[in-house]
Amino acid sequence: MTAQDLIRPGAVIEMAHGGGGRATARLIRQIFARHFANPLLDQGHDAAVLPRPVGRIVMTTDAHVVSPLTFPGGDIGSLSVHGTLNDVACGGAWPIALSAAFIIEEGFPLADLDRIAASMGAAARSAGVPIATGDTKVVERGHGDGVYITTTGIGVVPDGVEISPQRIRSGQAVLLSGTVGDHGIAILSRRQGLEFGTGIQSDSAALHRMVADMVAAVPGIAVLRDPTRGGLSATLNELAEASGHTITLNEAAIPIRPEVAGACEMLGLDPLHIANEGKMICICAEEDAEPLLTIMRAHPQGGDAARIGTVGDAAAPGTPGLLRMTTLIGGMRIVDWLAGEQLPRIC
Amino acid sequence: MKYVSEFRDPVLARNLARQIAAEADPARQYAFMEFCGGHTHAIFRYGVHDLMPKNLRFVHGPGCPVCVLPVRRLDDAIEVAEKHGAILCAYGDMMRVPGTGRRSLLSARAAGADIRMVYSPLDALALARENPQAQVVFLGIGFETTAPATAMAILQAQAEGLANFSVLCNHVLTPPAIRHVLEAPGIDPEQAVRLDGFLGPSHVSTVIGAHAYAPLVARYGKPVVIAGFEPLDVMQAVLMLIRQVNDGRAQVENQYTRVVTDTGNQKAQGVMAQVFTLRPAFEWRGLGSVPDSAFAIAPEYAAFDAEQRFPISDKASRETKSCECPAILRGVKEPKDCKLFGRACTPETPMGACMVSSEGACAAWYTYRRAEAMGTPAPALEPAQ
Amino acid sequence: MCLAIPARITALHDGAMATVNAGGVTRDVSVALLEAVAVGDYVLLHVGYALHLISEEEARETLRMMAQTGLLQDELAEMAGTSGGQGA
């Protein structure tokens, strides 16, 4: 039976596709196995057997829900690969394998699933990381939002690399690999009721190659973190709190695309609260800042890398570290967590 | 962005700060009320405080329509969606605001009510066209800036014969609220705030024009300088206010000449006069009842008035008792004077008017300068690398 | 209150509608509240309506006044002969 047999025009996911019977096997063979093909997956076992790694193992998991499923610059498939690879990279690690679990809603078009799986397979191949194992479940119509994808990643971290907010110290530099807010604004531009025209693409991208070069050059990097949901402010607030240090940003140094700034002005949003899917924050010793920026800028994902701030004093005992910013005009303010869901405002 | 980034220039800001410092009389205290929440937000977001002399204080006014909307009116909106099954359309600003029993539009939506966030009344009209079998209600909030768009939507609905569209009208007016702050009815004069002048609203003024403030200035003798919302606009307007105070003048001056004229947008004024009528009094959250301070939909357009269309019940809506918002909205107290601030009352769990919108004085203090407001020693100002 | 942003009119349509560009973002808005408007005009945009035309001349004048404020005498001398706008 060929792929075209399954993905005929108008064909949709039925409950039987998740029943574990012949329909499930056919779905896996014709969509997932076809797009993900690699030696580990092709073993065809319930559990993939991986070669013994050299170094300590990092493991991370991420559930991906996104609306719309396809957006400028990517879709839920590529996003679910990049998101987990980047989480592995945040441990200073090199990713060696991914797993993928799909929860698909009854009635979801098979052609759309095929397209998402193709994009996911392409993202994994381009990253050089196999999807070693997976699972599929189907939920009744109305019990899901099209498709949810959970990916788990395993990676190996070289000896001597100890990424931890506990290693944040006064005087360290805060680096960012590129422009803020691209992903969140790309998604928002396609949300029902808010549509606006823009050339903004999601920044969804795998960062592990850039990170590997950074870690190889400077094994003593204190922190790597990808500022996804809640944007730069959420991630840096977490780090300030966890480390008990004040972090001071310089607003003028934070890279932002003019269209993202324009969309934020229009919708009354703070770009520091907007999600990114292909950016890395790095906190490192002052003397390592310039060499690391040079390495970041040599990668396509780090072309706009910039130093955006400095770690300040330790907060008074019993008080959390604070994230603040020198504003464009030279004032000072706190950069707060996003309160609740990010909502466009008119006043 | 043209007309935006030029007005955030750090070199010009430094020069303006230097001039303000040079002209501010060290023997005086300056207290200027920025009426508008948009100014409050700009002042905090850009840290304008840090570029001002120590003897100059910003007093945050009640010009935030989300903040001053009484809980009762929000409860009405939730009732229209829940009990009468209407599609309720609201601006994103309103979605999180807690009503009685901490129920918000978001929580009503989670419980099954059909509540849509819209960016424009045009989006609500589109929903009415697409759902002819449903009642579509637009929750109209805002000052004179926003009211013309609501009026236009009603005229458009009438022209198209969209019988399933109506508006829950909560539009409020700026000059009566400024008058109310200055008269402070029922407030002991000793307790009333001392103000030396006003930063006049930016976008309200594009509609009503600079002349609209002349009677207030003539009557109360306080200078008004209409200011744009960018940080340099605010700073230049502060300088103009300082000059008026130092000279002993009280005039309406216009810093925001690129969009504000003396007479404003007369076409917008015309559609408001056509579609709306003045309510004899309107309840402002925090301020109480303010005479002649809000629009209702005029009788000729009653068909589009949700208050007429739906039997909205009397209900016991409750404000939080120990909240200091009334005094904060008048500029008499600061957020740090409220014992709820930053503890029981935060932007995630707002108890009072000034915390519910990012433009409210409490939310601005909490979000941008809470270290000072909460009494934690702020880390020393050192420039970032 | 009242978030409003500057946008440039890029096309006019029937029914008093127009396409605007605000910092690279495009959107269709109503120009029904304006007396007259032309492609290329900058307008102030609020809740999907153009509220007022923006005066290029007045904006330039405001920036010129700002640029002359707070300058020391030698800076003023240095600026003599050059134009005032320093905006980004």
Give the domain CATH number at B252.
3.40.50.11740
Q: Do B247 and B343 lie in a common domain? A: no
Residue A345 falls inside a structural domain: no
Q: Name the pLDDT band for B112 (thresholds 50, 70, 90).
A: very high
Check which CATH number belongs to the domain holding A59 and give it.
3.30.1330.10
Q: Name the pLDDT band for A159 (thresholds 50, 70, 90).
A: very high
Q: Do A263 and A226 lie in a common domain? A: yes
Average pLDDT over residues B167-172: 98
Q: Do B329 and B198 lie in a common domain? A: no
Pairwise CB contact (< 8 Å): A263 & C3:
no
For residue A196, pLDDT beyond 70:
yes
Residue C26 falls inside a structural domain: yes
Q: What is the pLDDT of residue B127?
A: 97
Average pLDDT over residues A127-154: 96
What percent of chain B is modeled with pLDDT above 70? 97
Residue A339 falls inside a structural domain: no
Q: Do B164 and B38 lie in a common domain? A: yes
Q: What is the pLDDT of residue A315?
A: 83
Average pLDDT over residues A253-273: 94
Average pLDDT over residues A122-139: 97
Pairwise CB contact (< 8 Å): C47 & B9:
no
Q: What is the pLDDT of residue B201?
A: 97
Q: Minimal Cα distance from B41: which residue of A?
A: A347
Pairwise CB contact (< 8 Å): C69 & B201:
no
Residue C52 falls inside a structural domain: yes
Q: Do A132 and A196 lie in a common domain? A: no
pLDDT one-digit tens code per residue, B173-201: 999 999 999 987 777 776 677 899 999 99
ipTM of the complex: 0.92
Q: What is the pLDDT of residue A79?
A: 98
Tell me which residue of B336, B322, B338 sits closest to B365, measured CA to CA.
Answer: B336
pLDDT one-digit tens code per residue, A47-59: 999 998 889 999 9
Q: Do A150 and A219 lie in a common domain? A: no
For chain A, say whether B55 makes contact (Cβ under 8 Å): no
Q: Name the pLDDT band for C46 (thresholds 50, 70, 90).
A: very high
Average pLDDT over residues A64-88: 96
Q: Name the pLDDT band for C86 (thresholds 50, 70, 90).
A: very low
How many angstroms away from the CA of A267 is the closest CA of chain C?
A: 8
Among A132, A157, A182, the domain-final residue is A157
Q: Do A36 and A83 lie in a common domain? A: yes
Rg (CA), chain B: 21
Q: What is the pLDDT of residue C87?
A: 39
Query: Domains in chain B: how many in total?
Result: 2
Q: Which of residues 77-96 of B touch C (CB under 8 A)?
A: 91
Q: What is the pLDDT of residue B241?
A: 98
Average pLDDT over residues A15-21: 92
Q: What is the pLDDT of residue A114?
A: 96
Average pLDDT over residues A214-232: 97
Q: Do B117 and B180 lie in a common domain? A: yes
Query: Domains in chain A: how many in total?
Result: 2
Which residues, at least 6 apart from B225, have a Cβ–Cβ distance to it below 8 Å? Answer: B197, B198, B199, B200, B237, B240, B241, B244, B252, B253, B254, B255
Its domain, for residue C13, covers: 1-80
Q: Do B346 and B279 lie in a common domain? A: no
* Secondary structure, 3-state, chain B: CCCCHHHHCHHHHHHHHHHHHHHCCCCCCEEEEEEEHHHHHHHHHCCHHHHCCCCEEEEEEEECHHHHCCHHHHHHHHHHHHCCCCEEEEEHHHCCCCCHHHCCHHHHHHCCCCEEEECCHHHHHHHHHHCCCCCEEEEEEECCCCHHHHHHHHHHHHHHCCCCEEEEEEEECHHHHHHHHHHCCCCCCCCCCCCCEEEECCHHHHHHCHHHHHHHHHHHCCCEEECCCCHHHHHHHHHHHHHHHHHCCCCEEECCCCCCCCCCCHHHHHHHHHHEEEEEEEEECCCEEEEEEEEEECHHHHHHEHHHHCCCCCCCCCCCCCCCHHHHHCCCCCHHHCCCECCCECCCCCCCHHHHCCCCHHHHHHHHHHHHHCCCCCCCCCCCC
Q: Name the pLDDT band for A1 (thresholds 50, 70, 90).
A: very low
What percent of chain C is modeled with pLDDT above 70? 80
Q: Do A10 and A87 lie in a common domain? A: yes
- Residue B200 pairs in a beta bridge with B226
Q: Do B35 and B96 lie in a common domain? A: yes
Q: Do A194 and A147 lie in a common domain? A: no
Residue B222 falls inside a structural domain: yes
Q: Do B159 and B228 lie in a common domain? A: yes
Residue C86 falls inside a structural domain: no
Q: Do A188 and A327 lie in a common domain? A: yes
Its domain, for residue A120, covers: 3-157
Q: Do A246 and A202 lie in a common domain? A: yes
Q: Which of residues 216-235 of B touch A (CB under 8 A)?
A: 231-232
Least confident of A94-108, B345-359, C34-48: B345-359
Q: Do A139 and A173 lie in a common domain? A: no
Q: What is the pLDDT of residue B310?
A: 96
Q: Do B244 and B120 lie in a common domain? A: yes
pLDDT one-digit tens code per residue, B186-242: 777 766 778 999 999 999 999 999 999 999 999 999 999 999 999 999 999 999 999
For chain C, say whether A213 makes contact (Cβ under 8 Å): no
Residue A87 falls inside a structural domain: yes
Average pLDDT over residues A266-271: 92
* Secondary structure, 3-state, chain C: CCCCEEEEEEEEECCCEEEEEECCEEEEEECCCCCCCCCCCEEEEECCEEEEECCHHHHHHHHHHHHHCCCCHHHHHHHCCCCCCCCC
How many angstroms away from the CA of C12 is the closest CA of chain B?
A: 17
* Stated pTM of the model: 0.92
For residue B44, pLDDT beyond 50:
yes
Average pLDDT over residues B26-55: 96
Q: What is the pLDDT of residue B108?
A: 97
Its domain, for residue B349, covers: 325-367
Q: What is the pLDDT of residue B326?
A: 83
Considering only CB atoms, C66 lies closest to which of B2, B12, B257, namely: B12
Gap between the Cα atoms of B157 and B129, Å rounded: 9
Q: Do B359 and B258 lie in a common domain? A: no
Tell me which residue of B116, B104, B171 sits closest to B307, measured CA to CA.
Answer: B171
Q: Do B333 and B300 lie in a common domain? A: no
Q: What is the pLDDT of residue C2?
A: 79
Residue B242 falls inside a structural domain: yes
pLDDT one-digit tens code per residue, B303-345: 999 999 999 888 777 777 788 988 888 888 899 999 999 999 9
Pairwise CB contact (< 8 Å): A319 & B376:
yes
Q: Do A187 and A305 lie in a common domain? A: yes
Residue C88 falls inside a structural domain: no
Query: Domains in chain C: how many in total?
Result: 1
> Mean pLDDT across chain B, nearest whole number?
92
Q: Do B288 and B329 lie in a common domain? A: no
Pairwise CB contact (< 8 Å): A196 & C27:
yes
Residue C87 falls inside a structural domain: no
Which of A188, A251, A343, A346 best tests the C interface by mutation, with the highest count of C CBs <10 A?
A346
pLDDT one-digit tens code per residue, B241-257: 999 999 999 999 999 99
Residue B173 falls inside a structural domain: yes
For residue C85, pLDDT beyond 70:
no
For chain A, say whether B121 makes contact (Cβ under 8 Å): no
Taking CB atoms and an 8 Å cutoff, what residues of chain A touch C45? 266
For residue B379, pLDDT beyond 60:
no
Pairwise CB contact (< 8 Å): B265 & C61:
no
Taking CB atoms and an 8 Å cutoff, what residues of chain A touch B44? 333
Q: What is the pLDDT of residue B332?
A: 86
Q: Name the pLDDT band for C74 (thresholds 50, 70, 90).
A: low
For chain C, say whether A211 makes contact (Cβ under 8 Å): no
Supply the DSSP symbol for A201.
Answer: -
Check which CATH number belongs to the domain holding C31 and give it.
2.30.30.140
Residue C63 falls inside a structural domain: yes
Q: Do B221 and B333 lie in a common domain? A: no
Considering only CB atoms, A261 lies closest to which of C23, C26, C47, namely: C23
pLDDT one-digit tens code per residue, B275-294: 999 999 999 988 889 999 99
More confident residue, C59 or A338: C59
Q: Name the pLDDT band for A44 (thresholds 50, 70, 90).
A: confident
pLDDT one-digit tens code per residue, A308-341: 999 999 988 877 889 999 999 999 999 999 887 7
Average pLDDT over residues A172-199: 90
Q: Do A142 and A188 lie in a common domain? A: no
